[in-house]
Amino acid sequence: MQVQDQITHEMLEWQINARFRIQKLLHRMHILHSRNTEIPRHYKRTLTEEEKDEWYPINRMIGAAFSLWRSAFLTQASNDRKQIYEHTNEFISKVIAQNSIAFPDDYKMCELTVVYYNTNARYRLERLMDKNSSLVAKYESVRKIDELKHSDQSEHLSPKDLWEILYWALEDCFNDYETTYSR
């Protein structure tokens, strides 16, 4: 079965809404991140200053947001092991033979690639949590990521359900960061 055959109108609507949400969040990140020469009145300093406590978190969040943006296109994957196996072989063969992977490859081999993008977003959020443990205490969404870290629950979630968990944690982390950064 081709990926295109698996997408229902309901899934497509969810993907469009998910892409809208993550792009809105990316836009907010871009506004904050792009202010590196002129300090707006509600921010105390720029990100290009030597402030690693501010520099690394925003870059982790931007990386997570990119991964969630990309995976939102791929959530029609079914977690079927046979498909993942086939897509893995095809993916590796293409990398070896052509030294190239593009979005059409990600889309065609979504059973494999959605896992990569969701896992990358999760990893970046976990790094954020490791460096700022107060996020776990403050936000239920972040606690869910922490619970996933200490269990195999994520292996049983659909790509869409995992995306939702990751998105809400990322949004809460960014809201927290934005509040802290503007002080």
- What pLDDT score was predicted for residue 1? 45
Which one has a higher pLDDT value, 174 or 47? 174
Two structure tokens written together for 22: 């993550």
Identity of residue 93: S
Task: Measure the CA–CA gap between 32 and 30, rounded to whole angstroms.
Answer: 5
Cα four-point dihedral sign 5, 11, 17, 18: negative
Distances (CA, A) of 64 to 121, 125, 132, 169: 4, 7, 16, 10
Q: What is the pLDDT of residues 13-47, one digit of tens each?
A: 999 999 999 999 999 999 887 775 455 555 555 56
Average pLDDT over every residue of 6-15 = 90
Closest CA to 109 of 147, 135, 136, 83: 83
DSSP 160: H
Residue 151, number of CB atoms within 10 A of its CB = 10
Average pLDDT over every residue of 61-72 = 97
Which one has a higher pLDDT value, 3 or 10? 10
Q: pTM value?
A: 0.87
Task: Measure the CA–CA gap between 145 and 122, rounded to whole angstroms.
Answer: 7
Task: Measure the CA–CA gap between 22 and 72, rounded to whole angstroms.
Answer: 9
Task: Measure the CA–CA gap between 98 and 123, rounded to whole angstroms.
Answer: 28
Distances (CA, A) of 46 to 63, 134, 164: 19, 23, 31
